[in-house]
Amino acid sequence: MYLHQQKTKMCHCVQSCWLVIRTLAGFALYIADFVTDVILAAEYYRNGDYYWFGLTLGFALVPQVIVNIMLAYLDGCKWYYLLPLGVPAKYFQVLYTFIYDEHQPRYTMVARQTKGQENQAPVARAVNHLLPLARLVGTLLESLPEICLQIYVLLRTGELDSLEIQPLKVVTMTVSFLASLYSIIEWETHFPNVTCQDKQMATMCLWVLSGWLVFRTLLGFALYIADFVTDVILAVEYAINNHYYWFGLTLGFALGPQLIINIVLAYLDHGCKWYYLLGVPAKYFQVLYAFFRGKDNPEDVLEAREKDDHEDQKPVARAVNHLLPLARLVGTLLESLPEICLQIYVLILTGGLSSLEIPPLKAVTMALSFLASLYSIIEWETHFPKVVAWVWGPLVFVWKVIDLPARILALCLFASIYKYWVFVVVGLHWLVMAVVENMFCRYLCDGNAWVESGADVISKSNCCVKFMFNAFVVAPVDVFTWVTFGSRLRCEVQPIVNSLLMLVTNIVMVSVWYSMKGNGSWYDEPALGVVIGGSIASFLLQGLYWLCYSPRCRCSPLEDVYV
């Protein structure tokens, strides 16, 4: 069965990484939830609101006492349960053994499925049973009453009516809600044998996967339309206000990439059809129509993704599995990321960023563009056959949330000082990567690509098309971020060159801006930190990504020799 095959072929290293990340996320949310509650209680005390102080602090501390009594009973009465510091102490124990390799995470995963909780090693028992229970009880008894209390305070004080809500309260309630949500999900999925091994469960999982495929297609279509429409509306807004320069650039960044991607789709979809004036939405309508009319079963689309070459797949399956992810990736990155850069540049020039007077339309446009870019990258990186989406999706998400803001800010800040030189930087980056991509491309020299040729829609094209694809599709995307294309060799050159270019240009651009800028603003130091710190972190994450994704690594999600 499709899902069962995915799970059984997943390598132990990826599972171990996911377990460590999940443990770190749980620990971080636990600490953030408790600390923000205590800080808010201290704020009430400083302001003389002793009643709210007592309730806030009580809701934070009492559940911890309950949880530590429970852990002391289940785990034996240890000194740290008396303080009470049971939950953080158990987290530190677990992380210490993981980091120093005293207990391999994969053994914890195996113990979860094969052993009763009393027969597991202490670390495995803590991860699989004690910590999920402690987080569930502690978080729900602390966070949900805390949210209720703070909303009640907002109602009593009139802050909710005037929307003058203190940022600390917003952060506290948000963290409490996220911690509650996470603890429930962690608890509901911690039970052993929550798998699709029997026929009935496998059928249910297949229905879930089919529903997820339809939902994902709808979400992709909605983000595509919303991203494009808000860009056009913003361009019209500029024209109404007689800002014709910004109008032209905004509209150009919205329409130019659509032209490129429709040319690509017209070539890949075996002929120039009339609707390639509206290629992406037309393909989405075809797919959704086929799903809702029952002409194509989502199960068959999922099965084709794993078994068939793209040329052997039915039109709907080929569109969902290959054409639309490529169209969204290229169209979104070449539209949305330049659009975000332009709008931030406009805000810097007009002083809107300094005063934080950002028009709602611009804020919505930039937010949608960023979400659309993030979604298209994750969709692309997880669309390849044999890739475990639920494992690699979150990892790519973390990397790109750091990588994209650093690159965008570096370009915007540098452009605010040297308006035209930024095009020189972008042009040189594109030229270098166009040369590198074609020199080390699988299409034009010997070698195996990152993905099977059956999943690569360009693999059987002629050399001219391959050269054009690398120069005008792959290289422009490289200017903004790194993604996995089928033309990539199993070669260190492309990722190393691109990551070094990104790191050096980002740091140089932001350093030049910081030294040459005029009057200071509130965002100077934060922006400098985001660009430099984010660029270094992105460089390290890209190295980790390449090492883990490379087929030579045991933790690669790509299994066979030809990937």
Q: What is the mean pLDDT of residues 423-429?
A: 94
430 pLDDT more than 50: yes
Same domain, 427 and 505: yes
Same domain, 403 and 476: yes
299 pLDDT more than 80: no
Burial 70-104 (b: 16+ CB within 10 A, else e): bbbeebeeeebbeebebbbbbbebbeebbeeeebe
Same domain, 349 and 403: no
Choose between 42 and 521: higher pLDDT. 42
Q: Which CA distances in Å does 409 have to 235, 372, 416?
A: 22, 18, 11
pLDDT at 166: 80
111 pLDDT more than 60: no
Domain stops at, among 197, 220, 246: 197
> Which residue bears the tokens 């024209």?
239
Same domain, 374 and 235: yes
14 pLDDT more than 70: no
Please state, in angstroms and rounded to a whole number, the distance separating the CA atoms of residues 34 and 420: 49
Look up residue 322 and give its DSSP letter. I
Please state, in angstroms and rounded to a whole number, the distance separating the CA atoms of residues 98 and 93: 9
Same domain, 393 and 312: no
Asked if 220 and 321 count as a contact pair (C-beta separation under 8 A), the reply is no
Same domain, 184 and 222: no
537 pLDDT more than 50: yes
pLDDT at 88: 75
Please state, in angstroms and rounded to a whole number, the distance separating the CA atoms of residues 278 and 264: 12
198 pLDDT more than 60: no
32 pLDDT more than 50: yes
pLDDT digits (tens, 9 = 90+) for 354-389: 887 888 888 899 999 999 999 999 888 877 766 655
Asked if 206 and 1 count as a contact pair (C-beta separation under 8 A), the reply is yes
Same domain, 524 and 388: yes
Contacts of 469 (CB under 8 A, 6+ apart): 264, 458, 461, 487
426 pLDDT more than 90: yes
pLDDT at 322: 79
Q: Indicate the average pLDDT of the chain.
A: 78
Look up residue 473 and give its DSSP letter. I
Percent of the chain with pLDDT strictly greater than 90: 19
How would residue 167 be classed by pLDDT, with cut points 50, 70 and 90?
confident
pLDDT at 61: 86
Of 100-114, 202-216, 345-359, 443-457, give the lowest mean pLDDT range: 100-114
Of 1-5, 21-25, 388-392, 428-432, give the lowest mean pLDDT range: 1-5
Q: What is the mean pLDDT of residues 153-162?
A: 81
Q: How many other C-beta atoms lie within 10 A of the C-beta of residue 267?
A: 17
Q: What is the mean pLDDT of residues 432-455?
A: 74
Which structure tokens are listed for 181? 């949500």
How would residue 181 be classed by pLDDT, with cut points 50, 70 and 90?
confident
pLDDT at 196: 43
Asked if 71 and 86 count as a contact pair (C-beta separation under 8 A), the reply is yes
Q: What is the mean pLDDT of residues 171-192?
A: 80
Same domain, 130 and 264: no
Q: Which CA distances in Å does 212 have to 18, 208, 224, 380, 421?
A: 21, 6, 18, 16, 45
243 pLDDT more than 80: yes
pLDDT at 8: 44
Cis-peptide into 84, omega within 30 deg: yes
535 pLDDT more than 90: yes
How would residue 272 be classed by pLDDT, with cut points 50, 70 and 90?
low
| Inter-helix orientation angle 524-549/493-516, to 10° | 180
The structural domain count of the chain equals 3
Same domain, 305 and 341: yes
Same domain, 365 and 496: no
pLDDT at 301: 74
Same domain, 48 and 134: yes
pLDDT at 439: 85
Same domain, 112 and 213: no
How would residue 562 be classed by pLDDT, with cut points 50, 70 and 90?
very low
How would residue 452 be classed by pLDDT, with cut points 50, 70 and 90?
low
Q: What is the mean pLDDT of residues 532-557?
A: 74
Domain stops at, among 197, 219, 250: 197
Q: Chain-centre distance of CA 48, in angstroms?
A: 42
pLDDT at 3: 42
Domain stops at, among 344, 379, 414: 379
Please state, in angstroms and rounded to a whole number, the distance separating the CA atoms of residues 340 and 355: 19
Q: 358: domain range? A: 205-379
Of the ranges 34-38, 66-70, 128-132, which is most confident? Answer: 34-38
Query: Is this model's pTM higher than 0.85 or not?
Result: no
